[in-house]
Chains A and B, each alone.
Chain A
């Protein structure tokens, strides 16, 4: 117990001795834990609006669709099947084209009774229910088309008036709507894919409700009508099993869909937002490891004498390593708690229910698994960055540590030989880079991760901007995803910027003596400052190239592999964007590092050489 107290006390004292570094460490880890929390809680939070809609509309547990008139008998059998306690329909469904405000869209027109149904009675958000010549439009579809109550529309060549806007839990909101017409649907297909599909398919259809008579009037061939029936089960949790038990290979047999499947479709945008956040959490986690490694490296270098004192006072290597690790574990625990709190508070801002569902996103649930995963990630980041330097410090010689000897720089002979042919700033920059190859690699990795994130953001932005049918999302669905993407990218940029400044400052401190010496031997302050800045820009260039070309592409395909996405539907960034990304990254890094580098290049030579050991 005494030993643990001692370790805790020493760790807290050292953190309080350097509050700015401790705060930066905390921020770096917190950025990753917050994003991870958002990713984990979003799924649960996004389910709430569907549940609210299901309750408000007396949503069905199973939706059955008969594509042919011969399937109507199958629907009647299902209505009487064991476990079914209620049903509505069958209702006729006709494929049609809807024209409004100069736009034409495919729709699935469902013929409904004017009287309310006991199962799936769409909840009106505006206006009234179906009447002769009056059409009710599904809310997400109405929003995508900008339709309001009272607007005139043409449906199958006939004039109608929008009499209401409603939500339902029987079909996922536009553009995720399930296909309930006989001719079939192609949702989210690219123009190239559409050209290969049979003609007559509805492209990303919307959903409208009419009277039964109006729906039947949309087609001259009654045999082309499909019929849909909504079933209520005694045990809704067994909906999937019910669907499995009534599967049939017959073409005339009804197609069945459980409410869980509809919910998955309805919450797909939220699921995509969750994927975005998890991707962001991974990228931020990698950046956080780089940030923490640089910070820890800097702190460890400053703690050499402290390690020597601890050892001289009788501390065993194990105690020394434990003290050093305890500091970062403590920061990681605080960062995990802060990340969980901020993530839980921010999640509702990113989970708007969308036009197709009612109710708010609700309070995200903070499950033990979320808390465990976020804490493990924070501790993992701290451990990954700390274990090696802590063990190295613990195993160092007491005498050497007490003398506070600087860690000798690395020698990279070929780089020194190559640099001799370059102008003075580049000569010094290459030698600075070669002195600390691990830090240079962290710099390259940090920039490559950020640029890879930008690559994926460019792909996703193009995907979201394309809109249906290419993108598969309407503006209403794309907006929350754009918000999530913005949050992830802003956090990524902030952490990358902090990283660049950290690394530059660590380089400046580490090269105080060599910069001063170069100036004593004839380099100007400008050349010394330019060398320090160039020492950051060279890895930034390598990182930008690695991130823009193989890195971004690989990350995008890795995300697709993990999420089961279809990369064929995405448009990769054009070459000019990638080529522009490289100099833009280098310029940003140069701007970020210029101030600390120039300050480093102007330190007084005499003072530095007198203060720094040879």
Chain B
């Protein structure tokens, strides 16, 4: 497995941690937000772990929350947010250290249709701005929104398809979530 020209499947835990800080952002199916932290505190956490100053980390977190449309919910704990809002906070957190790639594991698996659409629109915006996204999904409609589709079965690659020109602006329709 390679990332940014470097093999990463044989590196140590410390190097993996450094890589997670700088090169990769994670979005989980079940959000995995810290319940005792507010939305903005959750988003700034990776920056603090990467050694950024508290002021810089907070500024970046607020920018990201604004970008995902949740600046008005920055001081709310996760328990006060809807599923879609929690996942948007998780996406903002994944972007905290400006990673090369965001890995999203079933990011819409726990969401209803409206929230799924919100998250897909957010991903679309990120994609347009040049952010690489790797999304793992069982939902063929979500998979159809990608540029490049790699199918796996029993842990092995079975197929690769390149889908070009057609997703931007029509995500909802492609995913069958809107007319």
Contact = CB atoms under 8 A, between A and B. Distances in A.
B54 interface: yes
A434 interface: yes
A614 interface: yes
A515 to B, nearest CB: 11
A522 B32 contact: no
B26 A520 contact: yes
B37 A416 contact: yes
Interface in B67-97: 77, 79, 93, 97
Contacts of B49: 424, 427, 518, 521-523, 527
Nearest to B28: A609
A409 B35 contact: yes
Contacts of A420: 44, 48, 54, 57-58
B79 A408 contact: yes
A613 B46 contact: no
Contacts of B41: 416
Interface in B32-57: 32-37, 41, 44-46, 48-51, 54, 57
Contacts of B22: 522
A431 B36 contact: yes
Interface in A422-470: 424, 427, 431, 434-435
Contacts of B31: 614
B7 interface: no
Nearest to A413: B38
Interface string A498-539: 000000000000000110011111111111000000000000
B76 to A, nearest CB: 12
A168 to B, nearest CB: 71
Report the interface size class on chain B: 20 to 34
A569 interface: no
Contacts of A614: 28, 30-33
A614 B50 CA distance: 23
A435 B14 CA distance: 26
Contacts of A408: 35-36, 79
B36 A421 contact: no
A524 B20 CA distance: 10
A408 B41 CA distance: 17
B32 A416 contact: no
Given A409-B35, A420-B54, A435-B36, A522 B44 contact: no
Contacts of B77: 411
| Most chain A CB within a 10 A radius of its CB, from B37, B49, B50 | B49
B17 interface: yes
A520 B28 CA distance: 11
B21 interface: yes
B32 A609 contact: yes
B36 A522 contact: no
A420 B51 CA distance: 10
A522 B57 contact: no
B13 interface: yes
Given A521-B49, A522-B21, A523-B17, A416 B33 contact: no
B45 A521 contact: yes
Nearest to A431: B36
A517 B50 CA distance: 14
A522 B46 contact: yes
Contacts of B48: 420, 424, 427
Contacts of B45: 518, 521
B17 A522 contact: yes
A416 B48 CA distance: 12
A427 B52 CA distance: 13
A246 interface: no
Contacts of B13: 524-525
A408 B36 CA distance: 8
Contact of B17 (A410, A434, A524): A524
A410 B33 contact: no
B27 to A, nearest CB: 11
Contact of A434 (B26, B36, B54): B36
Nearest to A525: B13
Contacts of A521: 20-21, 26, 45-46, 49, 93
Contact of B32 (A409, A435, A517): A517
A435 to B, nearest CB: 6
A603 B28 CA distance: 18
A313 B37 CA distance: 37
A416 B36 contact: yes
Nearest to A434: B36
Nearest to A521: B46
Contacts of B36: 408-412, 416, 431, 434-435
Nearest to A520: B26
Contacts of B46: 521-522
Interface string B10-29: 00011001101110001010
B61 to A, nearest CB: 11
A421 B44 CA distance: 12
Contact of A513 (B20, B32, B57, B93): B32
Nearest to A406: B35
Closest 5 CB pairs of A and B: A522-B21, A614-B30, A524-B17, A420-B54, A411-B36
Interface of A: 408-412, 416, 420-421, 424, 427, 431, 434-435, 513-514, 517-527, 609, 613-614
Interface of B: 13-14, 17-18, 20-22, 26, 28, 30-37, 41, 44-46, 48-51, 54, 57-58, 77, 79, 93, 97
Given A411-B35, A521-B21, A525-B14, 16 more contacts: A410-B36, A420-B44, A420-B57, A424-B48, A424-B49, A427-B48, A427-B49, A431-B36, A435-B36, A520-B26, A521-B49, A522-B49, A524-B18, A527-B17, A614-B30, A614-B31
